[in-house]
Amino acid sequence: MNILHALSVPTRADEDAGAWIVLKIRWVGVIFGYLVVNLTPGALNAPVLNGLLGFGLAFTLLDTWYRRQNRIFLGQYPLFISFMEALFIGLLCHFDTGATSSFRYYYFLSVLCCVLRHGSMVGWITCLCHMVSWSVLWLSVSGEASDGMLGAVLVPSVLVWLTWAGLALGRSLREARDELGRLNGSLVRSQADLEVRFAERTRQLQETQAQMLQQEKMANFGLLAAGIAHEVGNPLTGVSNIVQLLQRGDHDSKTREKLDLMAGELARMRVILRELTEFGRPASRERSVCSIADLVGEALRVAKYHKRPGSRLRQPIVADNLPRVLCVRGQIAQVFLNLILNALDAAGEDGIVELRGMEQDGELLVEIEDNGPGLSELIKDHLFEPFVTTKTNGTGLGLYLSRRIVDDHGGRLEMGSGNLGGALFRVVLPSTDKTQSGSLLGINS
């Protein structure tokens, strides 16, 4: 196989079309040759001519076999082939009828094959070889075997013309092919560009569609929220008045603390209701620098009074060296409360809820983790959308509103899974100072 490969060279892409034309010319030549020799009555030297044509047939077969492997037989020796062809055609003519033989036209075919396959230098040398072969033939015959001076001049003249025209044709074919390649390249680039633009437009369209859907959802939600706020507002004012009246009375410290907490919670409810009423045109919120430990503590204090089935809230350990944040106090406390209550719900009886606070790259991280069953796969992808809940008495608004609040503070509310096996929620807020601190706050439910 190696020897066979050594006798050939691989075809270049630009030689492909030319190589097949050359093969066709060779096959036509061989078949024509056999027909002329064997069908002409009284042909001279038919056995010798058939033998010579056998060489031509063998060469053409080999050329075809190599072509099928995308190689050119003896492609590295083009001049050797030209020389052999000049000799081969000269011999065919010699054993046929001399300078009048039909085989003299093979000179033209051979030159044509050469210029189609090779460059101008090989083309002109081949032309020269054939002219020499023809001259020797013409000089070696006389009388009837020659068609006179005209024939002598005509063959070389046609050879020169064919070489010149073939080379020019080959050049323009190559130029046309290059131009086509360039055009094809730019067409492929434009198509790719178009596909990218199409994908980008489709993405933009999908985004706009999603935004519109979300806006519609929000508008409906706002309408509903405003309705609820209006309905709940009146009884809430009544309850607030009663609590204020009770506060004026004489009570022991525990009852007073509970009344103060009630008053605080009711005040927050009024604020939330006001915001719900104004849903869609956010009110200006006053921000203050708050200690995150205070906010977490406030949320934990309130959480104590929320009855969770089977849950037990131990006295929490609150670290006071966590970084501070610029925030609307009630809102961030509300976020922590929502997350703590959710964690307590999920953890259930004898469950564990952990709060971790740390500062990382100028951001404050508060993680609330529990050892409950984790987030349900059913709602995982829609967790932060309104009204998504798995609880029979849930509203599905806690996480949705919490994320909105955290986003408004330039932070993020993320979910993940921690080491306790349950869910983990992380509130990330920009901190106002760079105090490096970390703490673990533990409560057992």
Summarize as ranges the residues that interact with ligand ADP (CB under 6 A). Answer: 338, 342-343, 346, 370, 372, 374-376, 379, 383, 388-391, 394-400, 422-423
Structural element, H or E, at residue 430: strand 423-430
Give the Cα separation of 276 and 260 in Å (integer).
24
Rounded to the nearest whole angstrom, what is the least distance from the CB of residue 370 to ligand ADP in the complex? 5
Rounded to the nearest whole angstrom, what is the least distance from the CB of residue 256 to ligand ADP in the complex? 31
Structural element, H or E, at residue 315: none
Choice between 78 and 372, CB closer to ligand ADP: 372
Choice between 84 and 232, CB closer to ligand ADP: 232
Choice between 30 and 424, CB closer to ligand ADP: 424
Q: What is the DSSP letter of 104?
A: G
Rounded to the nearest whole angstrom, what is the least distance from the CB of residue 277 to ligand ADP in the complex? 21
Closest residue (Cβ) to ligand ADP? 398
Rounded to the nearest whole angstrom, what is the least distance from the CB of residue 379 to ligand ADP in the complex? 6
Choice between 86 and 399, CB closer to ligand ADP: 399
Name the token pair of 296: 């977490």
Rounded to the nearest whole angstrom, what is the least distance from the CB of residue 382 to ligand ADP in the complex? 9
Most distant pair of Cα atoms in the chain: their distance: 151
- Phi and psi at residue 119, to the nearest 5°: -80, -170
Choice between 18 and 422, CB closer to ligand ADP: 422
Q: What is the DSSP letter of 111?
A: H
Q: Is 319 exposed, middle or buried (0-12, 13-18, 19+ CB in 10 A)?
A: middle
Rounded to the nearest whole angstrom, what is the least distance from the CB of residue 361 to ligand ADP in the complex? 26
Choice between 202 and 395, CB closer to ligand ADP: 395
Q: How far is the CA of 301 from the CAs of 151, 187, 272, 289, 370, in angstroms?
A: 119, 69, 19, 20, 18
Q: Which residues contact 73 (CB under 8 A, 6 or more apart)?
A: 7, 8, 59, 62, 63, 65, 66, 67
Q: How far is the CA of 379 from the CAs of 376, 384, 387, in angstroms?
A: 6, 9, 11
- The amino acid occupying position 169 is L
Choice between 234 and 392, CB closer to ligand ADP: 392
Rounded to the nearest whole angstrom, what is the least distance from the CB of residue 353 to ligand ADP in the complex? 9
Beta strand 438-444 pairing with 352-360: antiparallel
Rounded to the nearest whole angstrom, what is the least distance from the CB of residue 384 to ligand ADP in the complex? 8
Name the token pair of 98: 């001399």
